Amino acid sequence: MSENCGCGCGHDHENDQEEAGLETMFLTLDDDTELECGILGVFEVEGVEGKEFIALMPLEDETVLLYEYKEIDEEIELNVIEEDELFDKVSAAFNELFEEEEEE
């Protein structure tokens, strides 16, 4: 039996990510360590023109990380969402998308 994630939900999220076939990517943190994350999705936010966002979940954690997402010449660029109002909109849009997916 696999070890539980520790969040109190009673199941192993890392195993869930593997079973769901999530693609992964590595984030390089400020201290140059790398963090492997499952890609939950790339999405647009209503009312925010010309930008896409990405939701990532570290494989060892249950925290969802949200970034502005740009793909330039096959290179992926992630930018921190610094404006509180924009972050709130992105977070709400992600939560809405995630709830819809859970219902299906």
Question: Is 67 among the domain residues?
Answer: yes
Tens of pLDDT, residue by residue over 1-48, are: 333 344 444 444 444 444 456 799 999 988 999 999 999 999 999 999
The 3-state DSSP class for residue 66 equals strand
Number of domains present in the structure of the chain: 1
Tens of pLDDT, residue by residue over 82-91, are: 999 999 999 9
Domain that holds residue 45: 13-103
pLDDT, mean of residues 94-104: 77
Tens of pLDDT, residue by residue over 58-69, are: 998 889 999 999
Question: Is 70 among the domain residues?
Answer: yes
Question: Is 3 among the domain residues?
Answer: no
pLDDT at 50: 93
Question: Is 41 among the domain residues?
Answer: yes
Whether 51 shows a pLDDT value over 60: the answer reads: yes
How far is CA 5 from each of CA 12, 58, 68, 98, 100, rounded to the nearest angstrom?
5, 12, 27, 19, 23
Question: Is 17 among the domain residues?
Answer: yes
pTM summary value: 0.74
Question: Is 74 among the domain residues?
Answer: yes
Question: Is 94 among the domain residues?
Answer: yes
Cα separation, 88 vs 22, in Å, equals 25
The size of the chain, in residues, is 104
